[in-house]
Structure 1
Amino acid sequence: MLLALYHQLEIDMTASTYDAAMVRVFADEGGYTNHPKDPGGPTNWGITLADARMYWKADATPEDVKAMPKAVAALIYREHYAKPIRYDDLPAGFDYSALDAAINSGRARALQWASKALGITSTEIVLIVRSAASVNDKVALIQRYWQMRLSFLHSLRTWSTFGGGWGRRCAQGEAAAVRMWLSVGAELPAPEARKRLDQEANRAKTSAAKAATAGAGSAAGSAAPAHLSVDLSHLGSGGKVATAILVAVLIGAAIYFIRKFIIHNQRAAAYAAS
Protein backbone atom coordinates (compact mmCIF):
# COMPACT_ATOMS: atom_id res chain seq x y z
CA MET A 1 0.00 0.00 0.00
CA LEU A 2 2.73 2.44 1.03
CA LEU A 3 4.89 1.61 -1.99
CA ALA A 4 1.92 1.91 -4.33
CA LEU A 5 1.15 5.39 -2.99
CA TYR A 6 4.83 6.32 -3.23
CA HIS A 7 4.99 5.31 -6.89
CA GLN A 8 1.78 7.22 -7.65
CA LEU A 9 3.30 10.30 -6.07
CA GLU A 10 6.36 9.82 -8.27
CA ILE A 11 4.04 10.11 -11.27
CA ASP A 12 2.23 13.14 -9.82
CA MET A 13 5.45 14.98 -8.98
CA THR A 14 6.40 16.03 -12.49
CA ALA A 15 9.08 18.67 -11.91
CA SER A 16 12.17 17.43 -13.67
CA THR A 17 14.44 18.63 -10.87
CA TYR A 18 12.76 16.64 -8.10
CA ASP A 19 14.73 13.41 -8.32
CA ALA A 20 18.04 15.26 -8.34
CA ALA A 21 16.84 17.43 -5.46
CA MET A 22 15.98 14.41 -3.34
CA VAL A 23 19.33 12.78 -4.03
CA ARG A 24 20.92 15.88 -2.55
CA VAL A 25 18.48 16.05 0.37
CA PHE A 26 19.11 12.46 1.44
CA ALA A 27 22.87 12.87 1.04
CA ASP A 28 22.82 16.00 3.20
CA GLU A 29 20.43 14.68 5.83
CA GLY A 30 22.10 11.28 6.11
CA GLY A 31 20.90 8.43 8.30
CA TYR A 32 20.00 8.20 11.96
CA THR A 33 21.29 10.81 14.40
CA ASN A 34 20.43 11.86 17.94
CA HIS A 35 22.86 14.65 18.69
CA PRO A 36 22.42 16.20 22.16
CA LYS A 37 22.63 19.72 20.70
CA ASP A 38 20.13 19.09 17.91
CA PRO A 39 16.68 20.35 19.02
CA GLY A 40 15.11 17.87 16.60
CA GLY A 41 16.22 14.95 18.74
CA PRO A 42 16.08 11.47 17.17
CA THR A 43 16.19 11.98 13.40
CA ASN A 44 16.47 9.63 10.42
CA TRP A 45 16.72 10.62 6.76
CA GLY A 46 16.06 14.16 8.03
CA ILE A 47 12.70 13.17 9.58
CA THR A 48 12.53 14.13 13.25
CA LEU A 49 10.64 12.23 15.93
CA ALA A 50 7.99 15.00 15.92
CA ASP A 51 7.47 14.65 12.15
CA ALA A 52 7.38 10.87 12.43
CA ARG A 53 4.59 11.14 14.99
CA MET A 54 2.72 13.75 12.96
CA TYR A 55 2.92 12.09 9.53
CA TRP A 56 3.68 8.41 10.10
CA LYS A 57 3.04 6.86 13.53
CA ALA A 58 1.31 8.83 16.25
CA ASP A 59 3.14 6.82 18.92
CA ALA A 60 6.50 6.57 17.16
CA THR A 61 9.50 6.00 19.42
CA PRO A 62 13.18 6.83 18.83
CA GLU A 63 13.60 3.16 17.91
CA ASP A 64 10.88 3.50 15.26
CA VAL A 65 12.64 6.56 13.83
CA LYS A 66 15.92 4.68 13.74
CA ALA A 67 14.28 1.82 11.81
CA MET A 68 12.27 4.10 9.50
CA PRO A 69 12.43 2.92 5.87
CA LYS A 70 13.77 5.48 3.41
CA ALA A 71 10.53 5.15 1.42
CA VAL A 72 8.59 6.50 4.39
CA ALA A 73 10.82 9.57 4.55
CA ALA A 74 10.47 10.05 0.79
CA LEU A 75 6.68 9.89 1.09
CA ILE A 76 6.66 12.43 3.93
CA TYR A 77 8.84 14.80 1.91
CA ARG A 78 6.59 14.59 -1.14
CA GLU A 79 3.27 14.93 0.67
CA HIS A 80 4.13 17.31 3.49
CA TYR A 81 7.02 19.39 2.15
CA ALA A 82 7.10 19.41 -1.66
CA LYS A 83 3.36 19.62 -2.31
CA PRO A 84 2.55 22.39 0.21
CA ILE A 85 5.18 24.68 -1.35
CA ARG A 86 3.94 23.77 -4.85
CA TYR A 87 7.31 22.44 -5.88
CA ASP A 88 6.18 21.69 -9.43
CA ASP A 89 5.10 25.28 -10.00
CA LEU A 90 8.31 26.98 -8.89
CA PRO A 91 11.16 27.78 -11.29
CA ALA A 92 13.80 25.08 -11.63
CA GLY A 93 16.46 25.50 -8.97
CA PHE A 94 14.30 27.80 -6.89
CA ASP A 95 12.05 24.78 -6.31
CA TYR A 96 14.93 22.78 -4.83
CA SER A 97 16.12 25.81 -2.84
CA ALA A 98 12.74 26.21 -1.14
CA LEU A 99 12.30 22.49 -0.56
CA ASP A 100 15.71 21.99 1.03
CA ALA A 101 15.16 25.02 3.26
CA ALA A 102 11.72 23.75 4.30
CA ILE A 103 13.19 20.39 5.24
CA ASN A 104 16.12 21.89 7.14
CA SER A 105 14.45 24.92 8.77
CA GLY A 106 10.69 24.48 8.40
CA ARG A 107 8.15 25.34 5.74
CA ALA A 108 7.12 28.66 7.29
CA ARG A 109 10.67 29.98 7.34
CA ALA A 110 11.32 28.70 3.81
CA LEU A 111 8.35 30.72 2.54
CA GLN A 112 9.45 33.80 4.49
CA TRP A 113 12.83 33.67 2.75
CA ALA A 114 11.11 33.18 -0.59
CA SER A 115 8.98 36.28 -0.12
CA LYS A 116 11.97 38.37 0.98
CA ALA A 117 14.10 37.14 -1.91
CA LEU A 118 11.27 38.09 -4.26
CA GLY A 119 10.75 41.49 -2.65
CA ILE A 120 7.13 40.85 -1.69
CA THR A 121 5.47 40.97 1.71
CA SER A 122 3.11 38.03 1.39
CA THR A 123 4.07 34.44 2.22
CA GLU A 124 1.03 33.03 0.42
CA ILE A 125 2.31 30.33 -1.86
CA VAL A 126 0.12 31.41 -4.78
CA LEU A 127 1.75 34.86 -4.77
CA ILE A 128 5.22 33.39 -4.33
CA VAL A 129 4.70 31.11 -7.33
CA ARG A 130 3.40 34.00 -9.44
CA SER A 131 6.21 36.36 -8.43
CA ALA A 132 8.95 33.78 -8.92
CA ALA A 133 7.75 33.05 -12.44
CA SER A 134 8.01 36.73 -13.39
CA VAL A 135 11.57 37.28 -12.12
CA ASN A 136 13.97 37.85 -15.01
CA ASP A 137 17.23 36.95 -13.26
CA LYS A 138 16.56 33.55 -11.70
CA VAL A 139 20.24 33.05 -10.84
CA ALA A 140 20.30 36.19 -8.70
CA LEU A 141 17.00 35.13 -7.07
CA ILE A 142 18.44 31.75 -6.14
CA GLN A 143 21.62 33.32 -4.79
CA ARG A 144 19.66 35.80 -2.63
CA TYR A 145 17.66 32.95 -1.20
CA TRP A 146 20.68 30.91 -0.14
CA GLN A 147 22.36 34.01 1.28
CA MET A 148 19.36 34.64 3.54
CA ARG A 149 19.33 31.02 4.64
CA LEU A 150 23.03 31.01 5.46
CA SER A 151 22.75 34.26 7.42
CA PHE A 152 19.95 32.75 9.50
CA LEU A 153 21.89 29.56 10.19
CA HIS A 154 24.95 31.55 11.20
CA SER A 155 22.84 33.40 13.82
CA LEU A 156 21.89 30.19 15.61
CA ARG A 157 23.55 29.16 18.88
CA THR A 158 24.29 25.75 17.38
CA TRP A 159 26.40 27.22 14.55
CA SER A 160 29.60 26.33 16.42
CA THR A 161 28.50 22.69 16.40
CA PHE A 162 26.83 22.29 13.01
CA GLY A 163 28.08 25.35 11.10
CA GLY A 164 30.71 23.51 9.10
CA GLY A 165 28.15 21.17 7.59
CA TRP A 166 25.56 23.91 7.13
CA GLY A 167 28.06 26.15 5.35
CA ARG A 168 29.00 23.41 2.90
CA ARG A 169 25.36 22.47 2.37
CA CYS A 170 24.46 26.06 1.51
CA ALA A 171 27.43 26.60 -0.82
CA GLN A 172 26.91 23.33 -2.65
CA GLY A 173 23.13 23.71 -2.62
CA GLU A 174 23.31 27.18 -4.17
CA ALA A 175 25.57 25.95 -6.96
CA ALA A 176 23.36 22.91 -7.58
CA ALA A 177 20.25 25.10 -7.68
CA VAL A 178 21.83 27.50 -10.16
CA ARG A 179 22.87 24.55 -12.32
CA MET A 180 19.28 23.26 -12.23
CA TRP A 181 17.99 26.60 -13.46
CA LEU A 182 20.58 26.91 -16.22
CA SER A 183 20.13 23.33 -17.46
CA VAL A 184 16.43 22.71 -16.84
CA GLY A 185 14.81 26.13 -16.55
CA ALA A 186 16.81 28.14 -19.09
CA GLU A 187 17.53 24.98 -21.11
CA LEU A 188 21.07 26.08 -21.91
CA PRO A 189 23.29 23.61 -23.75
CA ALA A 190 25.76 21.91 -21.44
CA PRO A 191 28.78 23.98 -22.61
CA GLU A 192 26.87 27.24 -22.05
CA ALA A 193 25.70 26.15 -18.61
CA ARG A 194 29.26 25.18 -17.72
CA LYS A 195 30.52 28.57 -18.89
CA ARG A 196 28.00 30.38 -16.68
CA LEU A 197 28.88 28.22 -13.67
CA ASP A 198 32.55 29.01 -14.19
CA GLN A 199 31.69 32.71 -14.31
CA GLU A 200 29.91 32.39 -10.96
CA ALA A 201 32.93 30.56 -9.55
CA ASN A 202 35.18 33.40 -10.67
CA ARG A 203 32.86 35.99 -9.14
CA ALA A 204 32.94 34.11 -5.86
CA LYS A 205 36.75 33.95 -5.99
CA THR A 206 36.89 37.71 -6.54
CA SER A 207 34.58 38.27 -3.57
CA ALA A 208 36.77 35.99 -1.44
CA ALA A 209 39.90 37.91 -2.42
CA LYS A 210 38.26 41.24 -1.55
CA ALA A 211 37.13 39.87 1.81
CA ALA A 212 40.64 38.58 2.53
CA THR A 213 42.16 41.99 1.78
CA ALA A 214 39.61 43.82 3.92
CA GLY A 215 40.04 41.31 6.73
CA ALA A 216 43.80 41.69 6.70
CA GLY A 217 43.44 45.46 6.91
CA SER A 218 41.06 45.22 9.87
CA ALA A 219 43.34 42.75 11.66
CA ALA A 220 46.33 45.04 11.17
CA GLY A 221 44.36 47.99 12.48
CA SER A 222 43.28 46.11 15.61
CA ALA A 223 46.88 45.12 16.33
CA ALA A 224 48.27 48.67 16.00
CA PRO A 225 47.35 49.91 19.50
CA ALA A 226 49.39 47.09 21.04
CA HIS A 227 52.51 48.70 19.61
CA LEU A 228 51.49 52.02 21.10
CA SER A 229 50.99 50.83 24.67
CA VAL A 230 53.36 53.40 26.13
CA ASP A 231 51.53 56.28 24.50
CA LEU A 232 48.10 54.86 25.30
CA SER A 233 49.00 54.55 28.96
CA HIS A 234 48.96 58.34 29.23
CA LEU A 235 45.44 58.60 27.87
CA GLY A 236 42.61 59.52 30.16
CA SER A 237 39.79 57.09 30.91
CA GLY A 238 37.76 58.47 28.01
CA GLY A 239 40.62 57.95 25.58
CA LYS A 240 41.20 54.42 26.80
CA VAL A 241 37.52 53.56 26.43
CA ALA A 242 37.48 55.01 22.91
CA THR A 243 40.60 53.01 22.01
CA ALA A 244 39.10 49.82 23.41
CA ILE A 245 35.92 50.39 21.39
CA LEU A 246 37.96 51.01 18.25
CA VAL A 247 39.95 47.80 18.77
CA ALA A 248 36.74 45.83 19.37
CA VAL A 249 35.20 47.23 16.18
CA LEU A 250 38.30 46.38 14.15
CA ILE A 251 38.42 42.84 15.56
CA GLY A 252 34.72 42.42 14.79
CA ALA A 253 35.31 43.65 11.24
CA ALA A 254 38.22 41.24 10.82
CA ILE A 255 36.06 38.32 11.97
CA TYR A 256 33.27 39.43 9.62
CA PHE A 257 35.56 39.54 6.59
CA ILE A 258 37.21 36.22 7.50
CA ARG A 259 33.75 34.66 7.57
CA LYS A 260 32.98 36.23 4.17
CA PHE A 261 36.26 34.89 2.82
CA ILE A 262 35.36 31.35 3.93
CA ILE A 263 31.82 31.60 2.53
CA HIS A 264 32.91 32.83 -0.89
CA ASN A 265 35.74 30.30 -1.07
CA GLN A 266 33.22 27.53 -0.42
CA ARG A 267 30.91 28.98 -3.07
CA ALA A 268 33.73 29.21 -5.62
CA ALA A 269 34.66 25.57 -5.01
CA ALA A 270 31.03 24.49 -5.23
CA TYR A 271 30.42 26.27 -8.55
CA ALA A 272 33.64 24.87 -9.97
CA ALA A 273 32.65 21.34 -8.98
CA SER A 274 28.97 21.65 -9.96
Structure 2
Amino acid sequence: MDRNFQQALQLVLKSEGGWSENPADPGGATMKGVTLTNFRRYGKADATKADLRKISDEQIATVYRRFYWDAVAGAELPDGVDYAVFDFAVNSGPGRAAKYLQAACGVGVVQDGRIGPATLAAVRAKPSGVVIDTLCDARLSFLKRLPTWPTFGKGWQSRVVAVRIQAMMMATPAPAQPVPARPAAPPASPQPPAAVERNPFWAGLFAILKAILGRKSP
Protein backbone atom coordinates (compact mmCIF):
# COMPACT_ATOMS: atom_id res chain seq x y z
CA MET A 1 0.00 0.00 0.00
CA ASP A 2 1.26 3.50 -0.78
CA ARG A 3 0.84 4.47 2.86
CA ASN A 4 3.68 2.03 3.59
CA PHE A 5 6.22 3.69 1.26
CA GLN A 6 7.92 5.83 3.91
CA GLN A 7 8.12 2.95 6.39
CA ALA A 8 9.42 0.57 3.71
CA LEU A 9 11.96 3.15 2.56
CA GLN A 10 13.33 3.67 6.07
CA LEU A 11 13.70 -0.10 6.50
CA VAL A 12 15.51 -0.40 3.17
CA LEU A 13 17.86 2.46 4.02
CA LYS A 14 18.86 0.71 7.24
CA SER A 15 20.01 -2.24 5.15
CA GLU A 16 21.72 -0.13 2.49
CA GLY A 17 23.90 1.89 4.83
CA GLY A 18 25.90 4.93 3.66
CA TRP A 19 28.62 5.37 1.06
CA SER A 20 29.93 2.26 -0.66
CA GLU A 21 32.36 1.71 -3.51
CA ASN A 22 33.24 -1.96 -3.29
CA PRO A 23 35.01 -3.23 -6.46
CA ALA A 24 33.20 -6.56 -6.01
CA ASP A 25 29.80 -4.86 -6.15
CA PRO A 26 28.51 -4.77 -9.76
CA GLY A 27 26.35 -1.76 -8.84
CA GLY A 28 29.42 0.42 -8.47
CA ALA A 29 29.51 3.44 -6.17
CA THR A 30 26.35 3.93 -4.12
CA MET A 31 25.13 6.31 -1.46
CA LYS A 32 22.38 4.89 0.76
CA GLY A 33 21.72 2.34 -1.96
CA VAL A 34 21.39 4.91 -4.77
CA THR A 35 23.74 4.23 -7.68
CA LEU A 36 25.32 7.03 -9.67
CA THR A 37 23.43 5.85 -12.77
CA ASN A 38 20.04 6.11 -11.06
CA PHE A 39 20.91 9.42 -9.48
CA ARG A 40 21.72 10.80 -12.93
CA ARG A 41 18.48 9.35 -14.31
CA TYR A 42 16.11 10.66 -11.63
CA GLY A 43 18.01 13.35 -9.76
CA LYS A 44 20.84 15.21 -11.45
CA ALA A 45 21.76 14.38 -15.04
CA ASP A 46 25.42 15.41 -14.76
CA ALA A 47 25.97 14.18 -11.19
CA THR A 48 29.46 13.17 -10.11
CA LYS A 49 30.47 10.85 -7.29
CA ALA A 50 30.94 13.94 -5.14
CA ASP A 51 27.34 14.94 -5.87
CA LEU A 52 26.17 11.43 -5.04
CA ARG A 53 27.85 11.64 -1.65
CA LYS A 54 25.80 14.78 -0.90
CA ILE A 55 22.46 13.46 -2.17
CA SER A 56 19.51 14.86 -0.20
CA ASP A 57 16.82 12.84 1.57
CA GLU A 58 14.25 14.18 -0.89
CA GLN A 59 16.33 13.06 -3.87
CA ILE A 60 16.84 9.64 -2.29
CA ALA A 61 13.08 9.23 -1.81
CA THR A 62 12.46 10.27 -5.44
CA VAL A 63 14.90 7.69 -6.80
CA TYR A 64 13.53 4.88 -4.65
CA ARG A 65 9.93 5.70 -5.44
CA ARG A 66 10.33 6.07 -9.19
CA PHE A 67 12.89 3.36 -9.91
CA TYR A 68 11.80 0.71 -7.42
CA TRP A 69 8.47 1.30 -5.63
CA ASP A 70 6.49 2.36 -8.68
CA ALA A 71 8.18 -0.28 -10.85
CA VAL A 72 6.80 -3.09 -8.67
CA ALA A 73 3.38 -1.43 -8.14
CA GLY A 74 4.11 -1.02 -4.43
CA ALA A 75 1.08 1.21 -3.91
CA GLU A 76 -1.24 -1.59 -5.08
CA LEU A 77 0.28 -4.58 -3.28
CA PRO A 78 -1.05 -5.85 0.07
CA ASP A 79 0.58 -4.77 3.33
CA GLY A 80 3.83 -6.62 3.94
CA VAL A 81 4.00 -7.98 0.41
CA ASP A 82 4.72 -4.44 -0.78
CA TYR A 83 7.78 -4.14 1.46
CA ALA A 84 9.09 -7.64 0.66
CA VAL A 85 8.92 -7.01 -3.10
CA PHE A 86 10.30 -3.47 -2.75
CA ASP A 87 13.37 -4.61 -0.80
CA PHE A 88 13.94 -7.43 -3.28
CA ALA A 89 13.75 -4.88 -6.12
CA VAL A 90 16.32 -2.62 -4.46
CA ASN A 91 18.67 -5.51 -3.85
CA SER A 92 18.31 -7.40 -7.13
CA GLY A 93 16.37 -5.25 -9.61
CA PRO A 94 12.64 -4.51 -10.11
CA GLY A 95 12.25 -6.90 -13.05
CA ARG A 96 13.61 -9.88 -11.13
CA ALA A 97 11.58 -9.04 -8.02
CA ALA A 98 8.41 -8.83 -10.14
CA LYS A 99 9.10 -12.19 -11.83
CA TYR A 100 9.71 -13.89 -8.49
CA LEU A 101 6.49 -12.41 -7.13
CA GLN A 102 4.63 -13.77 -10.15
CA ALA A 103 6.20 -17.17 -9.57
CA ALA A 104 5.07 -17.04 -5.94
CA CYS A 105 1.48 -16.57 -7.15
CA GLY A 106 1.45 -20.04 -8.68
CA VAL A 107 0.24 -21.54 -11.93
CA GLY A 108 -1.51 -19.29 -14.42
CA VAL A 109 0.47 -16.10 -13.83
CA VAL A 110 2.81 -15.08 -16.64
CA GLN A 111 6.30 -14.32 -15.35
CA ASP A 112 7.02 -11.33 -17.56
CA GLY A 113 8.36 -9.00 -14.88
CA ARG A 114 5.47 -6.56 -15.28
CA ILE A 115 3.02 -6.33 -12.41
CA GLY A 116 -0.40 -5.66 -13.91
CA PRO A 117 -4.04 -6.44 -13.05
CA ALA A 118 -3.64 -10.21 -13.46
CA THR A 119 -0.65 -10.38 -11.11
CA LEU A 120 -2.30 -8.10 -8.56
CA ALA A 121 -5.46 -10.21 -8.58
CA ALA A 122 -3.40 -13.38 -8.07
CA VAL A 123 -1.43 -11.81 -5.21
CA ARG A 124 -4.59 -10.65 -3.45
CA ALA A 125 -6.16 -14.09 -3.83
CA LYS A 126 -3.41 -15.67 -1.69
CA PRO A 127 -2.76 -15.12 2.02
CA SER A 128 -0.09 -12.44 2.31
CA GLY A 129 1.96 -14.59 4.69
CA VAL A 130 2.19 -17.36 2.10
CA VAL A 131 3.29 -14.94 -0.61
CA ILE A 132 5.93 -13.38 1.67
CA ASP A 133 7.34 -16.75 2.75
CA THR A 134 7.47 -18.11 -0.80
CA LEU A 135 9.06 -14.94 -2.13
CA CYS A 136 11.71 -14.75 0.58
CA ASP A 137 12.61 -18.44 0.16
CA ALA A 138 13.01 -18.00 -3.60
CA ARG A 139 14.99 -14.78 -3.14
CA LEU A 140 17.46 -16.43 -0.80
CA SER A 141 17.90 -19.39 -3.17
CA PHE A 142 18.65 -16.96 -6.00
CA LEU A 143 21.24 -15.07 -3.94
CA LYS A 144 23.01 -18.29 -2.96
CA ARG A 145 23.56 -19.08 -6.64
CA LEU A 146 25.39 -15.82 -7.31
CA PRO A 147 29.19 -15.88 -7.63
CA THR A 148 29.37 -12.98 -5.15
CA TRP A 149 27.65 -15.02 -2.42
CA PRO A 150 30.97 -15.79 -0.62
CA THR A 151 31.60 -12.04 -0.34
CA PHE A 152 28.14 -10.71 0.45
CA GLY A 153 26.22 -13.83 1.46
CA LYS A 154 26.24 -13.32 5.22
CA GLY A 155 24.81 -9.82 4.93
CA TRP A 156 22.26 -10.87 2.31
CA GLN A 157 21.02 -13.74 4.43
CA SER A 158 20.57 -11.49 7.47
CA ARG A 159 18.75 -8.98 5.31
CA VAL A 160 16.26 -11.51 3.94
CA VAL A 161 15.59 -12.85 7.44
CA ALA A 162 14.88 -9.31 8.68
CA VAL A 163 12.67 -8.55 5.67
CA ARG A 164 10.62 -11.71 6.20
CA ILE A 165 9.99 -10.88 9.87
CA GLN A 166 9.11 -7.24 9.24
CA ALA A 167 6.91 -8.02 6.24
CA MET A 168 5.00 -10.61 8.26
CA MET A 169 4.44 -8.04 10.99
CA MET A 170 3.13 -5.54 8.45
CA ALA A 171 0.82 -8.17 6.98
CA THR A 172 -0.69 -9.11 10.35
CA PRO A 173 -3.28 -6.62 11.59
CA ALA A 174 -2.91 -5.57 15.19
CA PRO A 175 -5.55 -7.18 17.44
CA ALA A 176 -8.31 -4.86 18.51
CA GLN A 177 -7.90 -3.71 22.08
CA PRO A 178 -11.03 -4.34 24.18
CA VAL A 179 -12.52 -1.26 25.78
CA PRO A 180 -12.41 -1.79 29.56
CA ALA A 181 -15.84 -1.76 31.16
CA ARG A 182 -16.44 0.99 33.65
CA PRO A 183 -16.84 -0.47 37.15
CA ALA A 184 -20.36 -0.14 38.48
CA ALA A 185 -20.66 2.42 41.22
CA PRO A 186 -21.71 0.93 44.59
CA PRO A 187 -25.30 1.75 45.51
CA ALA A 188 -25.42 4.86 47.58
CA SER A 189 -27.08 4.57 50.96
CA PRO A 190 -29.92 7.01 51.36
CA GLN A 191 -28.87 10.10 53.17
CA PRO A 192 -31.20 12.69 54.63
CA PRO A 193 -30.98 16.19 53.23
CA ALA A 194 -28.46 18.34 55.03
CA ALA A 195 -31.11 20.80 56.22
CA VAL A 196 -33.19 17.95 57.67
CA GLU A 197 -30.14 16.34 59.25
CA ARG A 198 -29.43 19.55 61.18
CA ASN A 199 -33.02 19.71 62.66
CA PRO A 200 -33.05 17.84 66.02
CA PHE A 201 -36.64 16.62 65.54
CA TRP A 202 -36.03 15.13 62.11
CA ALA A 203 -32.62 13.81 63.10
CA GLY A 204 -34.22 11.92 65.97
CA LEU A 205 -36.97 10.59 63.74
CA PHE A 206 -34.45 9.28 61.21
CA ALA A 207 -32.50 7.61 63.99
CA ILE A 208 -35.66 5.79 65.14
CA LEU A 209 -36.49 4.68 61.58
CA LYS A 210 -32.94 3.34 61.08
CA ALA A 211 -33.16 1.38 64.31
CA ILE A 212 -36.53 -0.12 63.30
CA LEU A 213 -35.39 -1.03 59.78
CA GLY A 214 -32.19 -2.52 61.13
CA ARG A 215 -33.94 -5.01 63.37
CA LYS A 216 -33.99 -8.65 62.25
CA SER A 217 -37.24 -10.53 62.03
CA PRO A 218 -37.60 -13.35 64.65
Q: TM bucket by the smaller chain? A: 0.7 to 0.9
Q: Partner of 1:48 in structure 2? A: 35
| Structure 1 runs not aligned, ≥5 long | 1-13, 192-274
- CA RMSD in angstroms comes to 1.6
1:22, distance to aligned residue in structure 2 (A): 1.3
| Structure 2 runs not aligned, ≥5 long | 178-218
Does the 8 Å contact 2:84/2:164 carry over to 1?
A: yes
1:71, distance to aligned residue in structure 2 (A): 1.9
Q: How does 1:211-222 map to 2 (within 5 A)?
A: none
Q: Partner of 1:8 in structure 2? A: none
Q: Partner of 2:82 in structure 1? A: 95
Q: Partner of 2:15 in structure 1? A: 28
For residues 21 and 42 of structure 1, the distance between their equivalents in structure 2, rounded to whole angstroms, comes to 23
Q: Partner of 1:121 in structure 2? A: 110
Q: Partner of 1:145 in structure 2? A: 135
1:111, distance to aligned residue in structure 2 (A): 0.5
Alignment partner of 1:68 is 2:55? yes
Q: Partner of 1:178 in structure 2? A: 168
Q: Partner of 2:193 in structure 1? A: none
Deviates more, 1:61-70 or 1:108-117: 61-70
1:58, distance to aligned residue in structure 2 (A): 2.2
1:148, distance to aligned residue in structure 2 (A): 0.9
Once the two structures are superposed, what CA deviation does each residue of 1:118-172 show, in whole Å capped at 9, x if it has no partner?
A: 112243311221111111x221110000111111111111111111111000001
Q: Give the letter aligned to residue 171 of structure 1.
A: V
Structure 2 counterpart SS, 1:83:
helix
For residues 63 and 16 of structure 1, the distance between their equivalents in structure 2, rounded to whole angstroms, comes to 33
Q: How does 1:1-274 map to 2 (within 5 A)?
A: 15-119=2-106, 120-123=109-112, 124-126=114-116, 127-135=118-126, 137-183=127-173, 188-189=174-175
For residues 59 and 16 of structure 1, the distance between their equivalents in structure 2, rounded to whole angstroms, comes to 32
* TM-score normalised by the chain length of structure 1: 0.60
Structure 2 counterpart SS, 1:68:
coil
1:94, distance to aligned residue in structure 2 (A): 0.5
For residues 156 and 30 of structure 2, the distance between their equivalents in structure 1, rounded to whole angstroms, comes to 16
For residues 173 and 190 of structure 1, the distance between their equivalents in structure 2, rounded to whole angstroms, comes to 25
When Rg is computed on C-alpha atoms for both structures, the one with the higher figure is 2
Does the 8 Å contact 2:42/2:62 carry over to 1?
A: no
Does the 8 Å contact 1:45/1:70 carry over to 2?
A: no
Does the 8 Å contact 2:40/2:46 carry over to 1?
A: yes
For residues 181 and 72 of structure 1, the distance between their equivalents in structure 2, rounded to whole angstroms, comes to 28
For residues 47 and 146 of structure 1, the distance between their equivalents in structure 2, rounded to whole angstroms, comes to 23
Q: Give the letter aligned to residue 161 of structure 1.
A: T
